[in-house]
Structure 1
Amino acid sequence: MVSPAARRLDKGLAGTLVLVDADNTLWDTDGVFARAQLALLSGVEEALATSGPVEGRLSYVRNFDQALAESHHLGLRYPPRLLVNALALGLQGLSQQEAVRRAWNDGLQCGLAPEAISQIERTFFDMIATQPNLLEGVLAGLRDLASAGARTVVLTEGSRKRVIRTIEHHGLSGYIERIFEAPKTSRMFKRVSRLAKNGQTIYMIGDQLTRDIKPASEAGLTTIYVPGAFQPKWELQAANFETLQAATFDAAVSLVIQADQLSSHQKRLAGT
């Protein structure tokens, strides 16, 4: 269903630049991956004719997932067949640490036929290609930004084409000015900040402290942290950063609007 974009007003926050992370800030990418990872575990169990844990199945998979991601240069975007190999070894009695090590070094000896591994991997890719649902408060928040005259720019470290498809699927194109695909470094945030007017406060809304909040803060942006449903252990271990925090996207937008209105009021007082 396509939702009509709110008319952008030429007053109030006119032109305020708001940068927004895509995955798990605007939509529930984690939910898509959770379903795919559980199906992957079931596929490995079926191929081995064995059973894994009955309770905490997602946590079981994600412990292997994060261990693989920590040692791969692509992080959580490592090839999923590594997870297939590691789970197969773990279900056959190896410790998580040893299963992950062997998945890296000798995946062909995981006990699964290459055809079975390929089929499980294909199913995983098919499942993560499905469109994620919007998170709570996203549509309302985007409408509020548009009504206030703000400019919303979406940032992603993934595929820009995929993000465009999801935006179009949910009828959000009228709310988004631009989409940038790039690693989220402080240098990238400084470059994107050139879109703002001189002296204008720039906001960044994201769900990851290490990937969204920290580099944006280092670039001088005002950040708003909206914790996602899934927090990798390196996120939980991250040092605290000075940032605003909100439970939902529309609550984060309310902070933007309140802060900008206060700033505008103070500037008017200073000019009198």
Structure 2
Amino acid sequence: MTVLVTFDLDNTLWDVEPVIVRAEYAMESWFEERFPGFYDQFDFAWQQEEKARLLARSPDLTGNLTAIRLGVYQQALKQFQLPSEECEMVAKAALAHFAEWRQRVDLFPHVAEVLEELYRDYSLAVITNGNADVYHPYIGLGGYFDFALRADQQGVAKPDPELFKMAAEQGKTSTTQIIHIGDHPHDDVYGAANAGAKTIWFNRHGARRWQDGWSQPADAEVYSLLELPAAIRSLLS
């Protein structure tokens, strides 16, 4: 049966924090060019508060980062007293601008090199809770992956085992034949293990210690992406 190696994206193939910071700066400029004074009222802190309010009203949106951001923009534009018939259109345009900046990632060292090696031996796929598009030309990794599952598009987010079951079905294999690689102890390690998959915890540079209160430790741990091929082979031996 086919071995399917699945990857988380944010903080596994790149550092997500600077990506989001740059995207937020770009959004501030985008709104201010069109609606001077917008960010005086609806700055990042306000948007975080509105996100919490939105999730309190609609907890089903948890995990759908794209829908949450769209809802925040729509609410801000309404309070800015933009005509109601324009709010949705402008919010969608703003979201599209954010999405473009969201793809401007700086890959960790050796990402393409390691994926090239793994691609020769295994089927590769993406399972992410984020809204990065691995097939976007700016990221440039789409050629290595057979498919990508994004929580905002599937309606379910890690650690829900359903997302891993979806990956197994699309990869024409079973969850027991999945090896999932990710940085998050709960979403990636617990989520994949709970679905029956093998897990590799990407603990970059060994900076973190596995805490007692976390779930069962991963089947393997790597400090560098260069260690992945050997770690995967050890789980299959």
TM-score (norm 2): 0.61
Paired amino acid for 2:82: A
Unpaired runs of 5+ residues, structure 2, are 205-212
Matched-pair contact (CA < 8 Å) for 2:12–2:183: yes
Counterpart in 2 of 1:48? 37
Matched-pair contact (CA < 8 Å) for 1:64–1:83: no
Counterpart in 1 of 2:207? none
Counterpart in 2 of 1:34? 21
Counterpart in 1 of 2:122? 150
Query: 1 or 2 for the larger relative contact order (CA 8 Å, sep ≥6)?
Result: 1
Bigger shift: 40-49 or 75-84? 40-49
CA pair 77-248 structure 1, distance change in 2 beyond 3 A:
farther
Matched-pair contact (CA < 8 Å) for 1:205–1:224: yes
Paired with 1:140 and 1:133, the residues of 2 have a C-alpha distance of 17
Counterpart in 2 of 1:67? 52
Greater C-alpha Rg: 1
CA pair 120-18 structure 1, distance change in 2 beyond 3 A:
closer
Bigger shift: 40-49 or 177-186? 40-49
Match of 1:206 among 155, 176, 182: 182
CA pair 129-146 structure 1, distance change in 2 beyond 3 A:
same
Q: CA deviation at 1:186?
A: 1.5
CA pair 127-201 structure 1, distance change in 2 beyond 3 A:
closer
CA pair 65-256 structure 1, distance change in 2 beyond 3 A:
farther
Paired with 2:48 and 2:229, the residues of 1 have a C-alpha distance of 33
Paired amino acid for 1:77: T
Match of 1:164 among 123, 135, 140: 135
Percent identical residues: 22
Alignment length (residue pairs): 210
The DSSP-based 3-state class of the residue aligned with 1:135 is coil
Counterpart in 2 of 1:224? 200
Q: Does 1:18 align with 2:5?
A: yes
The DSSP-based 3-state class of the residue aligned with 1:47 is coil
Across the aligned residues of Structure 1 and Structure 2, the Cα RMSD in angstroms comes to 4.5
Unpaired runs of 5+ residues, structure 1, are 1-13, 89-106, 229-238, 265-272
CA pair 132-65 structure 1, distance change in 2 beyond 3 A:
farther
Matched-pair contact (CA < 8 Å) for 2:175–2:195: no
CA pair 196-78 structure 1, distance change in 2 beyond 3 A:
closer
Paired with 1:123 and 1:36, the residues of 2 have a C-alpha distance of 11
Q: Does 1:83 align with 2:72?
A: yes
TM-score (norm 1): 0.55
The DSSP-based 3-state class of the residue aligned with 2:12 is coil
